[in-house]
Amino acid sequence: MTTKSYLEELEKKYGTLTFGEFLKAWREADDLTQTAFAKKIGLSVQNLNDLEKGRRIPSPTRVAKIAKKLGLPEMGLIQLALRDSLLKEGFDYEVKLKSA
């Protein structure tokens, strides 16, 4: 299953996800502490905590690096982060990406 279809299924079941909620769910599904997960994806524990709580929204480049370290396609995760960024600025837009 691709990340995009996985995200669509999750959102149908649980409602709109943020990038941070996705990261936290992925970490918890792997039964990892924030410390172990942060090390796995190359972040500080504080940065991971900020991402999971939505205090920080990563750039598409950082999201792509995280996706690669998790072995996931980047497009769905970049879409989540872009949507979060727009919502934080007050824009309630649907974000859909497609490869060129």
DSSP summary character for residue 73: -
Q: Per mean pLDDT, which range of 1-5, 11-15, 45-49, 88-92 is the poorest?
A: 1-5
Separation between Cα atoms, residue 4 and residue 22, nearest integer Å: 12
Name the pLDDT band for 10 (thresholds 50, 70, 90). confident
pLDDT of 1 > 60? The answer is no
Domains of the chain: 3-88 (1.10.260.40)
pLDDT of 70 > 90? The answer is yes
Mean pLDDT on 56-78: 94
pLDDT of 2 > 70? The answer is no
Helix (DSSP H) and strand (DSSP E) numbers for the chain: 6, 0
Mean pLDDT on 19-35: 94
